[in-house]
Amino acid sequence: MGLRDIPVLETNRLILRGPEAEDYPDFKATFSSYRSRFMGGPLNAYEAWMLYAAEIGHWDIRGYGMWMIHDRVTDETLGMAGGWFPAKWPEKELAWIIWPEKAGHGYALEATNAARKYFYDQLGWNGAVSYIDPKNLDSIRLAERLGAVKDRGAPTIDGSDAVYRHPSPDELMDSQIQHGIDMEIHNYIDPLFKPKGFAID
């Protein structure tokens, strides 16, 4: 799959597009910073370049990958979300990272929810996991908000990560989990909207 063939996903606030050359400076800045400590970083310039090349190549090899998250109004790049399944990964992963200065606005939730829906509805995935450093409490919380639960019996990447298993398509269909996700996303869009019965951060 070439870069021009990567599907574009749209949500209320976001546009998810394939990684392009102009997105690299923001990617490099984040993966060279402390923000990336739970994703193999901080990286030096060469390592950041190689990882970005891998992000692009993953689409061609696997037919799916990580999208760049853009603000729908300004087109500003906010982070990345999507699928990740390099060699020796036990299972297909749903992954995300938001640039440090853009965190706290629900972008990762909105983007990862859209990516998961695409993988389930369009590519026929029957599930996914997220490999998370046990010290990465923000990502653990997000995985749980997406309905993922810790799978203590699942194989890990290197023994140091925790595996969070996402609900299957059938488990998500018309479920309280999905309704809760949709309500939380709507709250970020309209802060005056406060549904009862769901925790809104």
State residue 187's pLDDT score: 86
Pair of tokens at residue 113: 């929810």
Domain 9-189 has CATH 3.40.630.30: yes
State residue 198's pLDDT score: 44
State residue 193's pLDDT score: 58
Is the separation of the CB atoms in 67 and 111 below 8 Å? yes
Amino acid of residue 179: H
State residue 199's pLDDT score: 43
Q: Where are the domains of the chain?
A: 9-189
State residue 125's pLDDT score: 98
The structure's pTM equals 0.90
Give the residues across from 82 on adjacent strands. Answer: 66, 95
State residue 43's pLDDT score: 83
Burial bucket for residue 82 (CB in 10 Å: 0-12, 13-18, 19+): buried
One pLDDT digit (tens) per residue for the chain, 201 residues: 566 689 999 999 999 999 999 999 999 988 887 666 766 668 899 999 999 999 999 999 999 999 999 999 999 999 999 999 999 999 999 999 999 889 889 999 999 999 999 999 999 999 999 999 999 999 999 999 999 999 999 999 999 999 999 999 999 998 999 999 999 998 887 766 555 544 443
